[in-house]
C-alpha cells in the first residue's frame, strides 16, 4: 500500500468559507485515501495562515519530511498556495524533492503540467536564486580575504600537522602535535636523502599516514614540502601574509628545502 502525507490549511478569511474547515479537509483526505487504497501516514496542518505566505510551520515540516514518502494529498491546491509567487516557490521545492500532489477536488491536477502563468514568475525566481548564490559567494570571498589579510586561515581543511579548535566560539588553527612530528620528519629526511621517492619509502617504513589513513603518495609529500603554511605564511589567491598560527618548520629549513626541490626539478 502506497504511503502518503496529507496537508490541510485554513486562514482567518477561509475559516468562514463553507466546505474548507480543517476537519472537513482532513475527512475528505481520509476518504480519498480509503477509496484509492493509500496509507495516510500523517496530516500536516497550518491554522490561521494565509495561502499567500510561504513561511508556514506545517508546510515547512511537510517539505522537510519528503524523504521516502513523496506523495501529498490535499483537498484542493488552494490549500497549498493562494498566489502565483507562493505557487511557484512551493512547486519548485516539491519538484526538487521529486514529489507529487494529488487533489481530491482536482483529479487531473499535476504539479508537472506546464502552466504559462508560471513562466514569468519562475524566471524571476531563478534570477533571484542566482543573485542569492552570487551574493553569498561574494560575502564568503570577502570574509575569506579579510581573514587572510589579518593573518588567519580563511577556511577549509587544516593541513596535516594542524587542526581546528574553537576558542570563545571562534575557530582557530593550532598545531596537532602528533601529526606535526610527521611533517618535521619529512622536511628533515628530504634534506638528508635529497629524494622525494626515498622520503616516501621512509614514511612507508614508519607507517606514516595521511589524515584519511592512507599512505603518502610522492605528490602529497611534494605538496607538503612546498606548503609555506608550515613556515608561518598564509597564502590565498594573490595574497601572501604572515599568519597568526605557530609555524612547524623554521624559515631557514623551509628555504633550504625549496632550493633543493628547485635543483632536483632542473635535473
**Structural domains of the chain, with CATH:** 2-113 (3.40.50.1390), 162-266 (3.90.1750.20)
Say how many C-beta atoms besides its own lie within 10 A of residue 83's C-beta.
14
Cell numbers placing 42: 500523517
How confident is the prediction along the chain (267 residues), in pLDDT tens digits per residue? 899 999 999 987 555 455 578 999 999 999 999 999 999 999 999 998 888 888 899 999 999 999 889 999 999 999 999 887 788 889 888 988 999 999 999 999 898 877 666 555 555 655 666 666 677 666 666 666 776 566 676 567 889 999 988 877 778 889 999 999 999 999 999 999 999 999 999 999 999 999 889 999 999 999 999 999 999 998 877 777 888 899 999 999 999 999 999 988 776
The residue behind cell 519538484 is 95
* Cβ pair 40, 29 in contact under 8 A: yes
Using alpha carbons, list the distances in angstroms from residue 51 to 61, 104, 142, 213. 16, 18, 38, 53
| Beta strand ranges found along 69-225 (DSSP E) | 71-74, 100-103, 162-167, 170-175
CA pair distance 8, 44, nearest whole angstrom: 6
Q: Which residues contact 224 (CB under 8 A, 6 or more apart)?
A: 159, 160, 183, 186, 230
Catalytic entry in 11, 65, 103, 195: 11
Please classify residue 84 by burial: count the beta carbons closer than 10 Å to its beta carbon, then call 0-12 exposed, 13-18 middle and 19+ buried.
middle
CA distance 226 to 20: 69
Active site residue 11: yes
Would you tell me how many other CB atoms lie within 10 Å of the CB of residue 137?
10
Amino acid at each position: 500500500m502506497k504511503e502518503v502525507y496529507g496537508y490541510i490549511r485554513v486562514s482567518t478569511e477561509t475559516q468562514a468559507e463553507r466546505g474548507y474547515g480543517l476537519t472537513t479537509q482532513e475527512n475528505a483526505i481520509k476518504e480519498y485515501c480509503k477509496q484509492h487504497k493509500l496509507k495516510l501516514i500523517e496530516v500536516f496542518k497550518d491554522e490561521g495562515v494565509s495561502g499567500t505566505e510561504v513561511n508556514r510551520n506545517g508546510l515547512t515540516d511537510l517539505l522537510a519530511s519528503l524523504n521516502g514518502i513523496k506523495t501529498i494529498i490535499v483537498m484542493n491546491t488552494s490549500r497549498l498556495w493562494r498566489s502565483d509567487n507562493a505557487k511557484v516557490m512551493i512547486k519548485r521545492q516539491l519538484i526538487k524533492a521529486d514529489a507529487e500532489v494529488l487533489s481530491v477536488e482536482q483529479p487531473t491536477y499535476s504539479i508537472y503540467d506546464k502552466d504559462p502563468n508560471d513562466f514569468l514568475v519562475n524566471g524571476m525566481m531563478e534570477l533571484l536564486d542566482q543573485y542569492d548564490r552570487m551574493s553569498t559567494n561574494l560575502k564568503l570571498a570577502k570574509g575569506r580575504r579579510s581573514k587572510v589579510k589579518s593573518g588567519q586561515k580563511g577556511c577549509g581543511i587544516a593541513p596535516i600537522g594542524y587542526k581546528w579548535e574553537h576558542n570563545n566560539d571562534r575557530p582557530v588553527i593550532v598545531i596537532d602535535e602528533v601529526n606535526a612530528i610527521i611533517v618535521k620528519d619529512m622536511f628533515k629526511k628530504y634534506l638528508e636523502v635529497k629524494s622525494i621517492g626515498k622520503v616516501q619509502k621512509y614514511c612507508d617504513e614508519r607507517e606514516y599516514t595521511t589524515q584519511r589513513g592512507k599512505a603518502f603518495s610522492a605528490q602529497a609529500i611534494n605538496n607538503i614540502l612546498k606548503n609555506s603554511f608550515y613556515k608561518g605564511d598564509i597564502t590565498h589567491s594573490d595574497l601572501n601574509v604572515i599568519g597568526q598560527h605557530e609555524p612547524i618548520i623554521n624559515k631557514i629549513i623551509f628555504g633550504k628545502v625549496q632550493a633543493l626541490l628547485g635543483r632536483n626539478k632542473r635535473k
